[in-house]
Amino acid sequence: MTHLTVGMPWASSHPETLLAPWWAEVLAVHPETPGVATLTLRLEDDAMRAGYRFRPGQFNMLSLPGFGEAAISISSDPAAPETLRHTVRAAGSLTRALTRLQPGARVGLRGPFGVPWPVEALRGEDIIIVTGGVGLAPLRPVIAYLRRHREDYGRVTLLYGARTPADLLYAGEYQAWKHDGIEVLLTVDRAAEGWRGPVGVVPVLFYRLRPHPDRTVVFSCGPEIMMHFVVYEAMARRIPFERIYLSLERNMKCGEGLCGHCQVGPYFVCRDGPVFRYDALAPFFHVEGL
């Protein structure tokens, strides 16, 4: 299946559009934390905007003439696809340029691409979301979906950490998430004045939980070293491999598995991921340099 057809039903009959970006207008640029901003975009083409759909965990390829193109996760509510939010960390020339845009600017957009989080298939389950830093961005649509369908799921817990309290994304939304029945546990690597929460790496927050392994599913996104320890902590609680899902970040250049830059073992992250069930990924995930 071509993942692009999830959001662009006309792409299957017009395959030439797969590598051709569409223009999107920048409606707003909201600073989140130092070096991180969320862009709110609206597709300029009326038909494309009306037909665009995405699922939690998918990404778009965003481009600027003269700077290039990069895979950026969609961080907005999939129930409101008319405007699209992308949370961008300024790490290179393109991402720095994206975070410095002003309303009215235009960016190229291709997508959505990728395998999403399987939220619809997990009704009735307890869900533990484990993430660090900007890894919360591709999980924010999951949280939006779970809030809207909260009665369909068991216990939902977010374990989230960042370097400092100032680096915690979407801090103004945590109270609303809690109000809607999502338990939010936070940690930081370095405390600051006024911080009263835990200090330490994200996986240690597992010690505050007593999950039932036969009905618990883990979603994790963030630095790969963090996800290695997330897997260890989940395994220590007898959560099966097939109940652990990881979202990988690789150098994705095309979004269609054509260029090979994002290969991991037999998989292309842009096409077969970025969300993988851990039992499929396990033989390759701990191979250094792969």
pLDDT in tens, 126-161: 999 999 999 999 999 999 999 999 999 999 999 999
* Contact (Cβ atoms closer than 8 angstroms) between residue 70 and residue 18: no
Structural contact between residues 274 and 227, judged by C-beta atoms closer than 8 angstroms: no
The 10s digit of each residue's pLDDT in 259-284 is: 888 888 888 888 999 999 999 998 88
Between residues 197 and 18, which one has the greater pLDDT? 197
Residue 44 structure tokens: 């300029």
Q: Is the confidence at residue 203, as pLDDT, over 80?
A: yes
Per-residue pLDDT at 284: 84
Amino acid 252: pLDDT: 79
Q: From the centroid of its chain, how far is CA 222?
A: 9
The model's pTM:
0.92
Q: What is the mean pLDDT of residues 214-220?
A: 97
Closest CA to 134 of 195, 197, 72: 72
Mean pLDDT for 231-250 is: 95
Residue extent(s) of CATH 3.40.50.80 domains in the chain: 119-247
DSSP 77-127: -TT-TTSEEEEEE--SHHHHHHHT--TT-EEEEEEEESBPP-GGGGTT-EE
The pLDDT value recorded for residue 273 is 92
Residues 6+ apart with CB under 8 A from 207: none
Whether domain 119-247 has CATH 3.30.70.360 = no
Q: Is 204 in contact with 198 (CB distance < 8 Å)?
A: yes
d(CA 46, CA 24): 11
Is the pLDDT at 217 greater than 50? The verdict is yes
The Cα 109–Cα 64 span in angstroms is 9
Burial class (CB within 10 angstroms; exposed 0-12, middle 13-18, buried 19+) of 209:
middle
Classify domain 3-113 at the CATH topology level.
Elongation Factor Tu (Ef-tu); domain 3 (2.40.30)
For 15, 84, 85, 88, 206, the CA distances from 74, given in Å and listed in that order, are 23, 7, 6, 10, 27
The first and second tokens of residue 30, run together, are 């909201």
Query: What is the percentage of the chain residues whose pLDDT exceeds 70?
Result: 92
Closest CA to 89 of 33, 129, 140: 33
Residues sharing a CB contact under 8 Å with residue 245, sequence separation 6 or more, in sequence order: 117, 118, 217, 218, 219, 220, 275, 276, 277, 278
Segments of the chain assigned to CATH 2.40.30.10:
3-113
pLDDT computed for residue 20 by the predictor:
83
